[in-house]
């Protein structure tokens, strides 16, 4: 017992031990704050990119090229009749990853990378690591417009998908895996769907 007594009464170096414990906790806390701030920044940038993309999409040529020539008139509808009153509907057209799906267009639809570029460019200014495969552009016929109008008045929706957040600090230190971000979406009513006026 006498051998341990001097060791137990020794107080030199106690501050160093306390500092080491507190420093590690403060280091982790600071890293967590930095990572959380970076996550919020990335999240907000993706949301703003989606808003910029849908704004560009409503004033740009449709990504599905055949959509520009769609008219809701058919043999039973007279010109000037609102599309919601019996006109032909194209349903939902979805363009993603280099192709478009469209059940309601009579001639099918063709994906246009040239039409996607004016939508993607302002999005990448807001969120630089965004790629074309992360962007989905949807056009939904909601019955707006009238028979004989040049082009449809769809609801345009831009979605971002497949984005992940990579930790800058805590991931490598604590072995945390990347966070899969949810889909971001923004919707506006189509305007002229033409890049000619932009």
20-62 pLDDT per residue, tens: 889 989 988 998 899 899 999 999 999 999 999 999 999 999 9
* CA–CA gap between residue 30 and residue 25 (Å, rounded): 9
Q: Are 147 and 77 in contact (CB under 8 A)?
A: yes
Mean pLDDT score, 130-159: 86
- For residue 146, count other CB atoms closer than 10 A to its CB: 18
pTM of the model: 0.80
pLDDT of residue 139: 92
- More reliable by pLDDT, 121 or 14: 121
SS3 content of the chain, % helix, strand, coil (to 5): 40, 20, 40
> What DSSP state is assigned to residue 100?
E
- Model confidence at 176: pLDDT above 90: no
Query: 137: closest CA among 54, 27, 32, 48?
Result: 54
pLDDT band at 96 (very low <50, low <70, confident <90, very high): very high
Query: 41: closest CA among 168, 158, 159, 188?
Result: 168
Query: Tokens at residue 115, please?
Result: 């039409």
Residue spans of the domains in the chain: they are: 4-197
> What DSSP state is assigned to residue 178?
P
pLDDT digits (tens, 9 = 90+) for 53-90: 999 999 999 999 888 777 766 666 677 777 766 667 77
pLDDT of residue 33: 92
Q: Are 91 and 102 in contact (CB under 8 A)?
A: yes
pLDDT band at 120 (very low <50, low <70, confident <90, very high): very high
State the DSSP H helix or E strand holding residue 140, giving kind and residue range, or none if neither.
strand 135-140
Query: Tokens at residue 98, please?
Result: 């280099």
């Amino acid at each position: 017992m006498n051998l341990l007594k001097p060791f137990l009464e020794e107080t030199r170096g106690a501050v160093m031990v306390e500092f080491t414990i507190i420093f590690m906790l403060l280091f982790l806390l600071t890293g967590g704050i930095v990572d959380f701030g970076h996550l919020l920044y990335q999240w907000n940038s993706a949301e703003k990119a989606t808003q910029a993309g849908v704004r560009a999409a409503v004033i740009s040529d449709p990504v599905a090229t055949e959509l520009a020539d769609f008219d809701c008139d058919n043999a039973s509808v007279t010109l000037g009749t609102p599309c919601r009153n019996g006109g032909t509907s194209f349903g939902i057209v979805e363009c993603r990853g280099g192709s478009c799906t469209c059940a309601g267009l009579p001639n099918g639809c063709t994906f246009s990378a040239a039409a996607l570029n004016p939508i993607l460019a302002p999005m990448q200014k807001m969120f630089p690591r965004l790629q074309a495969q992360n962007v989905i552009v949807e056009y939904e016929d909601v019955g707006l417009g009238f028979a004989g109008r040049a082009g449809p008045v769809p609801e345009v929706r831009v979605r971002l998908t497949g984005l992940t957040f990579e930790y800058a600090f805590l991931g490598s230190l604590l072995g945390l895996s990347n966070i899969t971000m949810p889909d971001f979406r923004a919707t506006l009513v189509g305007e002229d769907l033409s890049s000619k006026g932009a």
